[in-house]
Amino acid sequence: MKKIDTGTTPASAAADHYTFKVTAKRLLLAAGGGLVLFAAGALVYQSGAWDKMFAAQDGASGASASHEEAGAQARAAMLAARKARKTDGSAAAPIQPVGKDGYFVPPAESEIPDGPVGDAIKRGRDIFVDTPKYAARYVGNSMACAQCHLDSGRRENSAPMWAAYVQYPKFRAKNNKINTLEERINGCFQYSMNAQASEAGKAPPPGDDIYKELMTYMYWLADGAPTGEEMRGGGYLKLKETTLGYDARRGLAVYEQNCALCHGADGQGRREADGKVRFPPLWGPEAYNWGAGMSRIDTAAGFIKANMPLSKPYSLTDQEAWDVAAYIDSHERPRDPRQTGTIEEARAKFHKGEKSYYGKVLDGQLRGVGVARPAAPGA
């Protein structure tokens, strides 16, 4: 910054207000304050207080029912219609519960029933939210289901579980066959949670209670959802590629400004004092592997656009979302477990046509080689 010379000498100490030193100091303080506010905002948003705050503002302004109230009313209407139709076949059929934003409204936590079914729902929820703790034997990194499917699998446009449950059985091009929901969850363990590096060395075996309880939780979340329908907000946002395309180098600046505060400059995330992951790692041995859907740049771009930064969804431009997705997915991560031969063979067989850096040379290094967890002492 160049100090402007007015040709006069300051008449009093008040002129110091405009010196380079003082101005620079104030700019640095303002920047630091902005980072603190951003971090606080992220934590407030993640806690759910953000929605509650705006719901309170709606009520104070005399506006129509808040988002939460509208959702609760839609669910109450569906349940009432369901009850009426049990005794009167001519009564109107229940209608899918939809909130003011047009998205499906899953049941609230307070609606979890008592008894064995409710207990299974709670166990499934716990596995979903903290997979490394409740399915530790089969998790080979620091990822949990809820880190890609936000708000405990409820959030629209983050592939919510209420939409997934009603889609299966389903044909998937990824493995060229009809998949049951259990098989789909198995894939999440293999790719997103890198089960190959876990204590068991593989995903949970068929019929394991982990699948049963996760599916019970998903079934409960999908109460009132139409079977077989591709629901609004049911996957990740499909973000059209920009005319400039995507660029990992441009994405670095976006990452530093919008992501590093939570996920770390090194992309390794942040943990609570007790070791629990607060913000997940985005690359390296503790992140999803090269076979995960999120390693595809288009998938990551859509997720980021609709959900990140956590306190400011839809705040990035489309270009920024594409570029930062490219930056994140340009880093090395655990190898694709489907690779049995060369990377080139695996790319041709499993990654053909993908928007991915797998099998490509970036900054002089071939991507897809993989990075593993350090061996435990004495192992």
Report the 10 Å Cβ neighbour count for 138.
23
Distance of CA 56 to the CA centre of its chain: 26
pLDDT of 377 reads 61
Angle at 181 between CA 309 and CA 110, to 5 degrees: 60
pLDDT of 379 reads 56
Angle at 37 between CA 63 and CA 160, to 5 degrees: 60
Whether the full predicted model's pTM is greater than 0.95, yes or no, is no
Domains, the chain, ordered by start: 104-235 (1.10.760.10), 248-366 (1.10.760.10)
Residue type, 360: K
Note whether 217 and 161 are within 8 A (CB).
yes
pLDDT of 68 reads 87
pLDDT of 375 reads 75
Which tens digits make up the pLDDT trace of 145-199?
999 999 999 999 999 999 999 999 999 999 999 999 999 999 999 999 999 999 9
pLDDT of 241 reads 97
Residues whose CB is less than 8 angstroms from the CB of residue 252 and which lie 6 or more positions away in sequence, other chains included: 327
pLDDT of 65 reads 53
The angle, 0 to 180 degrees and rounded to 10, between the axes of the packed helices 209-221 and 116-129 is 100
pLDDT of 64 reads 46
- Burial code (b: 16+ CB inside 10 Å, e: under 16) for 50-79 equals beeeeeeebeeeeeeebbbebbbebbeebb
Q: Which of 302, 293, 351, 345 is nearest to 324 (CA)?
A: 302
What the block records as the tokens of 356 is 């991915």
Taking the C-alpha atoms of residue 289 and residue 356, their distance in angstroms, rounded to an integer, is 12
Residues of the chain with pLDDT under 50: 1-24, 26-31, 34-64
